[in-house]
Amino acid sequence: MYQIKKKSQLIVVLTLFMLSNAFGQDKVESSSNLISKKWYESFSIRGYQQVRYNRLFETNDKLKCEQCDRSWGENGGFFIRRMRIIFSGQINKRVYFYVQPDFASSASATSLHFGQLRDAYLDLGLDDDNEFRFRIGQSKIAYGFENMQSSQNRLALDRNDALNSAVANERDLGVFFYYAPKNIRKLFSELISSGLKGSGDYGVFGLGAYNGQTANKPELNNEPHVFTRLAYPFKIGNQIIEPALQGYSGKFVIAKDQLSTGVKTNADQNYLDQRAAASLILYPKPFGIMAEYNVGRGPEFNKETDSIEVRDLHGGYITLSYYQRIGKQLIIPFTRVQYYQGGKKHERDARSYDVKELEIGTEWQPNKNFELVVMYTFSNRRFEDFALQNNRQIGQLMRVQAQFNF
């Protein structure tokens, strides 16, 4: 026991020595500054809540979207979509932390409003300006602008099916490297603070490895997913444009609790999971455009064979918006058209989808602490699994969301 204790102490000393060299001489100064600060001078606490109702002018209560909002359709009512509190802070010149739980998660169809972890990571800067940094923990996967964009900022009430089907809840557990010059990091921050609904700072270059089973799910094979992304926002006169390319590759395991009795699968239930996407964003000054499209291959239920197979997938969306200030109020009319054909690997039997949808809406912000979104949806959705075959639902509905920011 004495030898084990001595070895543990030696490991701790060596670790501290390496960290002190990694973070440079300013570590001592940063530590002394932090000691003199109150906790609330280093940490930030904020959050938001979203309450929805989706049943106005509904024409088909069988029209649903499990990935979007489970209060769609029959038995749906007033619904807390999100209730999140965000803890974050620059606790060292090169160390930043971010933790976000959500208290509106559903443990089952009959048990709502449970707490669940969304984000929990550290950013470790490799230089004084943190232009080069590693992100360690559970965070968003940098695949798709709308996926990276916070739900607190997004115009449409739900993310598009095409790119969001890549990663449920947009997150996973892994290690990620990001690089962005100091001036671009500043621009990423300004795009959020100025109300232009940016995606946050995921660098101009990103590279990472993650489990691949999506957030809060255990790893089920020994092959991590890998991703890379390249983006660069730039100004042309008063306009800001951000093009991007991104992709990932790995193998996804269809867990047993996702399978219906009788559906056929691969022997090891491992399926190729690969995608690539292009994004083009024109930030709204005052007219804005968001357009993204992805292609790839992944698991999808095939009703002709009653089996889950690796099949082609493709789809995308385009969102048009217009920012109009009336005094201190902000009104943002928008419309989005989306299309997706392919599987959703994280749903039962890797459910097969064919989605065509048009959404027309307006966001109203009378002040920074309250937002109201009213959106009318025209939807044509085919969603099929082993138990639910030959299922195409067409309908319309009005959706309303009140959001409180604090």
Pair (331, 190) in one structural domain: yes
Task: Note whether 51 and 96 are same-domain residues.
Answer: yes
15 shares its domain with 129: no
Check: CB of residue 82 under 8 Å from CB of residue 403: no
- The C-alpha atoms of residue 169 and residue 246 are separated, in whole angstroms, by 18
376 and 281 in one domain? Answer: yes
Give residue 29's pLDDT: 40
User: C-alpha angle 207/210/180, rounded to 5°?
Assistant: 25
Whether 284 and 349 share a structural domain: yes
How many domains, in total, are found in the chain?
2
Residues 2 and 93 in one domain: no
| Beta bridge pairs of residue 227 | 208, 248
Q: What is the mean pLDDT of residues 28-36?
A: 44
- Look at residue 149 and give its three-state secondary structure: coil
> How many angstroms separate the Cα of 269 from the Cα of each of 126, 169, 220?
40, 22, 10
Are residues 158 and 191 part of one domain? yes
Of 104, 179, 88, nearest to 137 by C-alpha is 88
The tokens for 346 are: 């994280």
Report d(CA 205, CA 209) in Å as an integer: 14
pLDDT for residue 7 is more than 80: no
Domain carrying residue 6: 1-36
Check residue 1 and give its pLDDT: 39
**285-330 pLDDT tens trace:** 999 999 999 999 999 999 999 999 999 999 999 999 999 999 999 9
pTM over 0.85: yes
| Same domain? 148 vs 166 | yes
Q: Residue 303 maps to which CATH number?
A: 2.40.160.10
Q: Are residues 180 and 283 in the same domain?
A: yes
